[in-house]
């Protein structure tokens, strides 16, 4: 066989049955990504004789005698293909994991295909961008700007790694190979609840290439929590690396280590496990009832009530809700349900570990290498100096990588064997073993006067944390923000995080607020109709205003405040936008048209301690090195950090060299979640850059004898009065005196401010089929001082797209035995290009933030009002209220064709 890849001939032969994707990666073409291995996502797209193909479902032997082109062969960082340049300049990417496949597909488009992108891009998925930026890239629309020295903030500059991303050179976690590397695969439980009686390894160890089989007897007997927070005590230590009791279908039972993935998988099939099945419970209400099967004993003092499977319960109130309801003219009560939702980041979880110089190195796809290091140190009794954890570029996260669920096993195997070890999740493992959004059932009761003034709010929230606690407690606390958004003298919030024999739930964009926002904002819409007041007007009447206490569960003091009426401005902008245009026209006869709105309030950092440290150093090459621990996975913090530093140092982003997410080369960083990558780490960057600027100016003032106030930093030099000194001169003078221009600064997640969002939709619903088409989507967001306008719009567009999936298409189906039955993109159905409208993004600029340069992070909160706004628009169109997600055509069809007297479902 003869293989020609990017113009170079290879003599290597693929293995029998090997797909083209894995073969190309074995040849070093790492721009060919693995997103699904089922032909669903397009991340692996390459050209075969100029035609795009999904290489994961193309047998490698079919390339024999043909020309294969990968993203690396399309262009280089110094010589971009026109489409690569378009994707860089739009910018048409966020995390960048799908970008190579998108470009390889788009670069073949005819004009006719460009005019029909819903069809042309049907084979390529993106979870980050919301597709509008990709559309701009395909059509050649440029969104980037050039920043003048010291004027980077407020400018849409490009990502530091832009050229590398669009050419496939940006390294993601698995884009490397180490000599002698072993591969690890996992045996998963077929039972929802069982005790392991015995494990026979012998047949597995007899498989050629298998080196080890690890079971619960081979791992440290230490309990921990997989959830990542600075304060690990907020989460329960209810998990072991491997356990002798399994509590959900898919739980890790054994790990097989082998020379190849194929040998490890065969070894997994040969492991013989004898189980003693135990009673299981899947519904949290049933799990809380007396006599239900117990998942955990009383070994963890954090667990509130193990006999009733309650991890944590919250009970808070202000005022007297009974008196508030007694004073109400109208009372509305309803129960709203949000299902599990998977993150579906295109890069699956994975880690690689190896020993170097007697130290354990772990390269991982994580949102927090600092805390992953702390957990590994605890589990394996390693000192900090014995361990390094770092990230390359991470292919999406959305909270899913705020866990330690792959690092522990590779660390175990490398410490045991001394050899490099790789563990990469399959797409099915992502769906069946990684942590989805918490299913929540919320009963909301609202009381109001005839004029719409709220008199009482009462919420009961039952959250299904699954088999392990992970983020079960913190997401329960976060849900209070849905109640905090409204002024009301009487509030009551009761919440329960409950263990069940299902896949453990975890962190997902919106973090415990998305589900309560759906419930409360839907209930507010129903209340508005009950008191015959426009839903926007009802919200305006009751939203919190500057000076109001932000109260959900108690009247105790907190560190959150706001001084500008951003939420009212968001409501006004969305109301004006919906009145100004109807968006796309309704498709025709048989379609019902409706409008819906919803709002949310979000704290700009998590309530638990969040800390970040940044280092800035002016190097001998006159480039400023910025070292910060925050991971880049599409949220744009890398770009924002560079802009903040450039602004303070009076220079351009091109003169900032970024070092990030490496515990050997950066300071501690809690992690990139809850928008803290900008709000907290951005403040650390601001302080460190400002400190270096001040040191340079102080040195220059002392050297010239000019008063400090007359000295200013200008790109590559300092002006002191009438004299200008180049940075090269200053660095040489400083070096001669043993002085370095460097500084480290820390920032913490307190005090905090709030940001707000309002989403509006106008939709059409087919009265027969139940299909929904979005005619107009608009979101207004209180962005405060905007660091990068293009990135803010991109985050909102991506958040709206994810919210649309949450509302309309996505459902983590679990059968009566606890088995997830749709563990792939084809059946799970995240939104495609054709599903997502262009969202009109309206920015409310304010100055009430305590973030860096008074900015606010926007990646987290934009998803929260999307689902309720869609549900409210559906009710407006049909007159039928749907209180359970997702709003699929079959459910809408069924309800529209039933008697209107049927209760809301």
Ordered DSSP codes for 160-207 = TTHHHHHTT-S-BTTS---TT-EEEEEEE-SSSSEEEEEEE-HHHHTS
Specify the pLDDT at position 549.
Answer: 85
* pLDDT greater than 60 at residue 286: yes
Percent of the chain scoring above 90 in pLDDT? 91
- Taking the C-alpha atoms of residue 334 and residue 426, their distance in angstroms, rounded to an integer, is 39
Find residue 403's DSSP bridge partners: 227
pLDDT surpassing 50 at residue 902:
no
Q: What is the pLDDT of residue 441?
A: 98
pLDDT surpassing 60 at residue 492? yes
Which DSSP symbol is given to 422? E
Could you tell me the CA-to-CA distances from 551 to 491, 565, 568, 851 in Å, in that order?
8, 17, 18, 22
pLDDT of residue 904: 54
What's the pLDDT at 905? 54
Q: Helix (H) and strand (E) counts for the chain?
A: 28, 31
Distance CA(895)–CA(905), nearest Å, equals: 8
pLDDT tens for residues 313-339? 999 999 999 999 999 999 999 999 999
Helical H segments across 382-456, by residue range: 407-417, 427-433
- State the pLDDT at residue 848: 86
* Residues 740-784: tens digit of each pLDDT: 999 999 999 999 999 999 999 999 999 999 999 999 999 999 989
DSSP per-residue letters across 227-257: B--SSGGGS---B-SS-SEE-STT-EEEEEE
> Is 750 in contact with 738 (CB distance < 8 Å)?
no
Q: Given pLDDT bands bounded at 50, 70 and 90, which one contains residue 194?
A: very high
Per-residue pLDDT at 562 exceeds 90 = no
Coil, strand or helix at 804: helix
Checking if the pLDDT of 689 tops 90, the result is yes
How confident is the model over 805-849, as pLDDT tens digits? 999 999 899 999 999 999 999 999 999 999 999 999 999 988 888
Q: What does each C-alpha distance from 449 to 332, 346, 487, 655 come to in angstroms?
A: 12, 49, 13, 60
Segment 63-83 mean pLDDT: 96
Q: Is 299 a residue whose pLDDT tops 80? A: no
Residue 644: per-residue pLDDT: 98
C-alpha–C-alpha distance, residues 656 and 641, integer Å = 10
Per-residue pLDDT band for 233 (boundaries 50, 70, 90) equals confident
Is a pLDDT exceeding 70 seen at residue 469?
Answer: yes
Say if residue 40's pLDDT is above 60. Answer: yes
Q: What is the pLDDT of residue 144?
A: 96
Structure-block tokens of residue 634:
């599409």
779 with 574: CB under 8 angstroms? yes
Closest among 523, 376, 506, 528 to 450, alpha carbons compared:
528
Distances 372 to 226, 288, 658 between C-alpha atoms, Å = 9, 32, 21
Categorize the per-residue pLDDT at 586 as very low, low, confident or very high, splitting at 50, 70 and 90.
very high
For residue 591, what are the contacts with CB-CB under 8 A and spacing of at least 6? 764, 765, 766, 767, 773
Residues of the chain above pLDDT 70, percent: 99
What crossing angle do the helices spanning 369-379 and 407-417 adopt, rounded to 10°? 50
The mean pLDDT of the chain is: 96
Structure tokens given for 5 = 């890849």
Residues facing 318 on adjacent strands: 491
- Name residues whose C-beta falls within 8 Å of residue 833's C-beta, 6 or more positions apart in sequence: 117, 118, 121, 122, 124, 131, 134, 135
Does residue 607 carry a pLDDT above 90?
no
Rounded distance, CA 478 to CA 458, Å?
16
User: pLDDT per residue over 611-636, tens digit each?
Assistant: 999 999 999 999 999 999 999 999 99
pLDDT surpasses 60 at 899: no
Instruction: Give phi and psi for 528, each to the nearest 5.
Output: -60, -40
- Residue 457: beta bridge partners? 446, 491
Residue 300 has pLDDT above 80, yes or no: no
Amino acid 900: pLDDT: 53
Helix, strand, coil distribution of the chain in percent, nearest 5: 30, 25, 45
pLDDT at 306: 85
Q: Is the pLDDT of residue 24 over 80?
A: yes
User: In the structure, what pLDDT confidence band is assigned to residue 903 with cuts at 50, 70 and 90?
Assistant: very low
Task: Please count the other Cβ atoms lying within 10 Å of the Cβ belonging to residue 532.
Answer: 9
């Amino acid at each position: 066989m003869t293989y020609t890849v990017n113009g170079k001939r290879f003599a290597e032969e693929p293995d029998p049955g090997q797909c083209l994707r894995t073969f190309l990666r074995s040849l070093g073409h790492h721009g060919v990504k693995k997103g699904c291995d089922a032909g669903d996502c397009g991340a692996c797209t390459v050209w075969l004789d100029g035609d795009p193909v999904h290489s994961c479902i193309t047998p490698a032997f079919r390339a024999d005698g043909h020309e294969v082109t990968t993203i690396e062969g399309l262009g280089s960082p110094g010589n971009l293909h026109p489409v690569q340049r378009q994707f860089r300049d739009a910018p048409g990417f966020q995390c960048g994991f799908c970008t190579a496949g998108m470009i390889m597909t788009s670069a073949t488009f005819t004009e006719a295909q460009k005019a029909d992108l819903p069809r042309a891009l049907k084979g390529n998925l993106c979870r980050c961008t919301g597709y509008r930026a990709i559309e701009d890239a395909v059509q050649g629309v440029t969104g980037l700007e050039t920043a003048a020295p010291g004027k980077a903030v407020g400018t849409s500059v490009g990502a530091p790694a832009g050229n590398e991303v669009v050419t496939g050179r940006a390294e993601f976690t698995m884009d490397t190979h180490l000599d002698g590397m072993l591969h690890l695969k996992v045996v998963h439980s077929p039972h929802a609840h069982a005790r392991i009686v015995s494990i026979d390894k012998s047949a597995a160890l007899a498989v050629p290439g298998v080196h080890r089989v690890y079971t619960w007897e081979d791992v440290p007997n230490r309990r921990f929590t997989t959830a990542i927070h600075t304060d690990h005590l907020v989460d329960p230590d209810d998990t072991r690396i491997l356990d002798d009791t399994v509590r959900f279908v898919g739980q890790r039972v054994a790990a097989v280590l082998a020379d190849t993935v194929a040998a490890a998988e065969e070894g997994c099939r040969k492991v013989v496990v004898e189980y003693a099945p135990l009673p299981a419970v899947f519904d949290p209400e049933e799990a809380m009832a007396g006599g239900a099967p117990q998942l955990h004993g009383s070994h963890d003092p954090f667990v509130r009530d193990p006999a009733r499977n309650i991890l944590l319960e919250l009970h808070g109130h202000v005022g007297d809700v009974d008196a508030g309801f007694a004073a109400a003219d109208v009372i509305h009560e309803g129960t709203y349900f949000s299902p599990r939702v998977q993150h579906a980041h295109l890069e699956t979880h994975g880690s690689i570990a190896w020993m170097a110089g007697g130290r354990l190195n772990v390269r991982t796809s994580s949102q927090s290498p600092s805390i992953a290091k702390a957990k590994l140190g605890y589990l394996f009794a390693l000192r900090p100096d014995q361990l390094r954890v770092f990230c390359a570029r991470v292919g999406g996260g959305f909270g899913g990588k705020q866990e330690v669920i792959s690092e522990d096993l590779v660390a175990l195997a490398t410490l045991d064997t001394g050899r490099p070890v790789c563990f990469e999740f399959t797409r099915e493992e992502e769906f069946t073993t990684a942590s989805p959004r918490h299913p929540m059932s919320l009963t909301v009761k609202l009381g109001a006067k005839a004029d719409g003034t709220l008199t009482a709010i009462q919420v009961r929230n039952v959250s299904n944390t699954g088999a392990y606690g992970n983020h079960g407690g913190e997401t329960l606390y976060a849900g209070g923000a849905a109640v905090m958004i409204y002024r009301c003298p009487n509030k009551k919030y009761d919440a329960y995080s409950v263990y069940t024999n299902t896949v453990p739930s975890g962190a997902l964009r919106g973090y415990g607020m998305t589900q309560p926002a759906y419930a409360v904002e839907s209930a507010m819409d129903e209340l508005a109709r009950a008191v015959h007041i426009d839903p926007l007007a009802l919200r305006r009447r009751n939203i919190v205003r500057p000076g109001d206490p932000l109260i959900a569960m108690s009247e105790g003091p907190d560190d959150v405040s706001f001084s500008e009426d951003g939420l009212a401005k968001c409501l006004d902008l969305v109301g004006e936008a919906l009145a100004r245009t109807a968006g796309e026209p309704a498709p025709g006869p048989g379609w019902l048209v409706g409008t819906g709105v919803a709002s949310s309030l979000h704290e700009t950092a998590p309530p638990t301690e969040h800390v970040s440290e940044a280092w800035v150093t002016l190097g001998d090459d006159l480039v400023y090195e910025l070292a910060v621990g925050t991971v880049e996975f599409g949220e744009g913090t890398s770009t924002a950090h560079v802009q903040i530093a450039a602004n303070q140092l009076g220079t351009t982003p091109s003169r900032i060299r970024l070092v990030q997410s490496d515990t050997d080369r950066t300071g501690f960083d809690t992690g990139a979640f809850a928008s803290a990558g900008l709000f907290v780490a951005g403040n650390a960057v601001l302080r460190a850059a400002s400190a270096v600027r001040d040191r340079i100016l102080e040195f220059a003032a002392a050297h010239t004898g000019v008063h400090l106030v007359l000295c200013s930093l200008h790109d590559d030099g300092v002006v002191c009065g009438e004299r200008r000194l180049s940075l090269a001169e200053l660095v040489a003078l400083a070096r001669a005196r043993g002085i370095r221009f460097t500084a480290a600064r820390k920032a913490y997640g307190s005090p905090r401010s709030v940001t707000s969002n309002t989403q509006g939709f106008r939709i059409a619903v087919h009265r027969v089929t139940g299909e929904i088409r979005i005619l107009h989507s608009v979101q207004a967001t209180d962005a405060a001082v905007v660091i990068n306008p293009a990135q803010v719009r991109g985050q909102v567009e991506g958040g709206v797209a994810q919210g649309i999936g949450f509302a309309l298409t996505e459902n983590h189906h679990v059968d009566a035995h606890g088995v997830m039955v749709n563990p792939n993109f084809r059946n799970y159905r995240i939104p495609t290009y054709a599903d997502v409208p262009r969202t009109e993004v309206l920015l409310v600029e304010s100055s009430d933030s305590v973030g860096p340069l008074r900015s606010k992070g926007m990646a987290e909160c934009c998803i929260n009002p999307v689902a309720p706004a869609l549900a409210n628009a559906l009710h407006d169109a049909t007159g039928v209220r749907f209180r359970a997600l997702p709003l699929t055509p079959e459910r809408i069809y069924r309800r529209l064709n039933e008697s209107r007297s049927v209760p809301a479902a």
